[in-house]
Amino acid sequence: MANVVVEHRWREHNKAEAFKVVGSIVDMAKNGKLPAGFTLKSINVIGEENRAICNWEAPSVGDMQNLLKSVNPPTKHEVYDAQKIF
């Protein structure tokens, strides 16, 4: 398993759509409906910058990138393999 950080950025006119996708992902996480091997650890929204930082546990960075491609969120995003030190 990998600790994966996904940084999302969106334009102001995509904000409602971005939050709709976030809401559906949170609902899936709460209801145990995320794909096998994926656990959403946290979402931190920096609203004044139209940015969110999501922390995931995923099988691999590549699997996370493939999941993002299938969801196709209305954001620009970067995926990082992060080492958890605390």
Q: For residue 71, what is the enclosing H or E element? A: helix 61-71
Tokens representing residue 25 in the block: 């992902």
Statement: residue 81 has pLDDT above 90:
yes
Domains and CATH numbers, the chain: 2-81 (3.30.70.100)
The reported pLDDT for the residue numbered 48 is 87
Distance CA 33, CA 11 (A): 28
Q: For residue 19, what is the enclosing H or E element? A: helix 15-30
Task: Name the nearest CA neighbour of 3 among 71, 60, 76.
Answer: 60
76: number of CA atoms within 13 Å, CB side? 5
Q: What is the pLDDT of residues 28-61, one digit of tens each?
A: 999 999 999 999 999 999 988 999 999 999 999 9
Could you tell me the pTM of the whole model?
A: 0.91
- Contact present, 57 and 39 (Cβ < 8 Å): yes
Statement: residue 67 has pLDDT above 90:
yes
